Structure 1
Amino acid sequence: MKKLRFMLLVGFLALVLVGCSNTSASTNEMETYTIIAAHSTAETTSFNEIFQYFKTEIEAKSEGRIKVEIYPSAQLGADRELIEGVQLGDVTMSLHSTAPAVNFVDDVAVFDIPFLFPDKETARATMHVDSPFFEQLAQSQEEKGFKLLGLHDQGFRQLTTNGVKVESPSDLKGVRLRTMENPYHMETWRTLGANPTPLPFNEVYTALQQGTVDGQENPFELIISQRFYEQQDYLTETNHILQAIQIIMNQQFFDTLPEDLQILVEEVMAEAVVVGNEFIDDKEAEYKEIMTNADVEFVEITPDQLATFQESVSNVLDQISQEVDEELLNTLLESVQQ
């Protein structure tokens, strides 16, 4: 009888342990993760398209294990504040221009080389997630606490001005030009003869309206979404710098995800970048039409005029080459040439 009781007790304990084990496994399988995804632009931009695509696909493909909350229009801060938030872990993921990111990762400055990319196709091939350049840049980001998930672009930055038609660097003399808070952008325009005036993005429209600055430079999408064109007479298609956009996640958060979810996050974001790039391409003609209808005069510069701009800012490449990793820069330049 004692032996029977002992065997029954052992059996009962075994069932309890199995039950606990199953419960634990079930709990782990259903563990959920919330991604706070923030950007500083309007909901009509490619930034929001990328995050919306990512949210829809990742929530469906993860079967609810990942939830995404999107905060557009600088609700959680401007670009620099968002980058800080990602580094600290207060914001899980951010999508922003690389220009303010140089304050956190020196190597990101390679995107500030004037006239680096001849066209968007070359840029996108160079920045693709499977490229050697992307892999090296991702390593630089990881050392600072960022997981680089993708590189999008908003097209090239263009110059807009009020009262001054710019066809050559000499036309920029004394022009008060709003720039980003980036030393290489400021040096580019200072070298070209303008008076660079760094201002936060959300202050640009008022500065143009009040005449605090005479012009600004941004890609078509932002000129339209922020309605800068309403306060400008001319747009010179300089294509001076590609508006490279990086998508970063807090590295520590990424490392806590199970391996299958890490792979899923990377795959879905790669798809989302393609969606964002296509959105930009599809909208460009519409953006130009809006500005033309608003009586903005488009100024096309000749190849000889463009060469004058390019020659004038060759010193900026020299400055950047002293601050970034030499191997990374060489990989980038070789990729562009190929």
Structure 2
Amino acid sequence: MKRKMIFLLVMVITVTLFVAGCGSSTNQSTGNNTDNNAGGASEEASITLKLGFSTNEEDPRAIAAKQFKEEVERNTNGSVEVQIYPSGQLGGDAALIEAMALDSGTVDIIITDASNFATYEPKMGISALPFQFASFEDAWKFMDSEIQAEVEELLLNHNMRVLAHYDNGFRCVTTSRIAIESPSDMKNLLIRTPENPVIMETMKSLGANPQPLAFSELYIALQQGTYDAQENPIPVIYNNKLYEVQSNLSITNHIYSGMCFTISDSTWSKMSDSQKAIVQEAATKSQAYNRELNKRQTEELLTKLSDAGMTIIEPDLTPFVEETKSVGENLKSLYGDLIDRVAEWQSNN
């Protein structure tokens, strides 16, 4: 009997210790899960941003985009990765804008001329009216103005959110045969333009025959003689070696090309507040870097284009200004009171 009592006592103690051990193990495991869950909640979801544009990696927009990438990835500790696709790898300017508007997922950020968005929102062409700005600084001031911001708000209806303004410079005409010294030299000139209503209307007002073509196809088209001419800012002409297939450069400076650094609004909504703040700050910093770089290249590369064999023409721009005055009037039905507001803004600035 005594042995039975001892045996039962040992069994009770053993079972008690076993149950207590299981309970402790369970509590400890639950505690670890709680800690892990808390840690997971504090970690931000990773996201990859595909950034595309039409020009090559030598272009100031590409160089500034690399700075943007480094800044974002460093300050988000890698939770936001930026993949850069230059040279129209994801499509030309028109295709990139369409992909973003359709929320196709092909691209998350695009860098292209503000007026290229006019195919979706006509008022976006207001910054590209001919001979509107006398200097880089004047143009930058307008791109950062309330008028431009008001117009860009309309892009949100098309899944596009502008974060910053890059600089593409003042557009100039290059030709393979006739040198452009006056508007009469432009008559019936088959000239490549982007699919941009303001630029095309400007070329028509000068008597030219504008035909749109993706930038990625431009070099070959000029090489084969499909087009007589094209128009682009000096850094674009040099960095993409258009001097190899064009012999004359006329400093017409007919349109300022301010670019919009634009993110898909649906992509924007997927980021945390802290990620958004970092992306916005990096875009703003890269804007300042791009502008100064593009201005410097515009000044420096003209000599290099001459050294490369191009004939540089500096025509009297007065007749060009006169011939293009009709552009604003022809587009007034699209812009409403914007033209008058811009004129007032210019008189006050």
TM-score where L is the length of structure 1 = 0.88
Q: 1:154-210 CA distances to partner (integer Å, 9 max, x unpaired)? A: 110001122212221112122222222223322211221122222222222223223
Matched, 1:323 2:334: yes
Matches within 5 A, 1:1-338: 19-30=32-43, 31-87=45-101, 88=103, 89-128=105-144, 131-302=145-316, 306-324=317-335, 326=337, 329-337=339-347, 338=349
Q: 1:68-108 CA distances to partner (integer Å, 9 max, x unpaired)? A: 11111111111122122223133111111234321122221
- Please tell me whether the aligned partners of residues 232 and 296 of structure 1 are also in contact (alpha carbons under 8 angstroms): yes
Separation of aligned partners in 1, 2:112 and 2:32:
47
Change (3 A) 1:22 1:227: same
1:5 paired residue number:
none
Separation of aligned partners in 1, 2:166 and 2:245:
28
- Please tell me whether the aligned partners of residues 136 and 295 of structure 2 are also in contact (alpha carbons under 8 angstroms): no
Separation of aligned partners in 2, 1:134 and 1:113:
13
Change (3 A) 1:80 1:24: farther
Separation of aligned partners in 2, 1:9 and 1:125:
71
Amino acid across the alignment from 2:344 = E
Amino acid across the alignment from 1:166 = I
Change (3 A) 1:27 1:308: same
Change (3 A) 1:212 1:264: same
Amino acid across the alignment from 1:123 = A
Change (3 A) 1:126 1:11: farther
Amino acid across the alignment from 1:106 = P
Separation of aligned partners in 2, 1:66 and 1:331:
39
- Please tell me whether the aligned partners of residues 50 and 108 of structure 2 are also in contact (alpha carbons under 8 angstroms): yes
Separation of aligned partners in 1, 2:147 and 2:281:
18
Separation of aligned partners in 1, 2:239 and 2:148:
29
Amino acid across the alignment from 2:323 = S
Structure showing greater Rg: 2
Separation of aligned partners in 2, 1:332 and 1:13:
71
Pairs aligned (count): 329
Separation of aligned partners in 1, 2:76 and 2:215:
35
Q: Secondary structure at 1:322's aligned position in 2?
A: helix
Instruction: Give the CA RMSD over aligned residues.
Output: 2.6
Change (3 A) 1:325 1:59: farther
Q: Secondary structure at 1:107's aligned position in 2?
A: helix
CA drift of 1:240 comes to: 0.5
Q: 1:99-122 CA distances to partner (integer Å, 9 max, x unpaired)? A: 432112222111331111111101
Structure 1 unaligned segments of length 5 or more: list them: 1-7
Separation of aligned partners in 2, 1:267 and 1:334:
31
Change (3 A) 1:209 1:170: same
Amino acid across the alignment from 1:115 = F
Separation of aligned partners in 1, 2:40 and 2:336:
45
Change (3 A) 1:195 1:262: same
Separation of aligned partners in 2, 1:333 and 1:260:
39
Separation of aligned partners in 2, 1:13 and 1:330:
74
TM-score where L is the length of structure 2 = 0.85
- Please tell me whether the aligned partners of residues 34 and 68 of structure 1 are also in contact (alpha carbons under 8 angstroms): yes
Amino acid across the alignment from 2:219 = Y
Separation of aligned partners in 2, 1:99 and 1:227:
24
Separation of aligned partners in 2, 1:17 and 1:292:
74
CA drift of 1:13 comes to: 8.6
- Please tell me whether the aligned partners of residues 162 and 234 of structure 1 are also in contact (alpha carbons under 8 angstroms): yes
Q: Secondary structure at 1:96's aligned position in 2?
A: strand
Separation of aligned partners in 1, 2:121 and 2:35:
45
Separation of aligned partners in 1, 2:290 and 2:255:
18
CA drift of 1:269 comes to: 0.3
Separation of aligned partners in 1, 2:26 and 2:157:
48
Separation of aligned partners in 2, 1:16 and 1:138:
53
* Percentage of matched positions with identical amino acids: 29
- Please tell me whether the aligned partners of residues 156 and 239 of structure 1 are also in contact (alpha carbons under 8 angstroms): yes
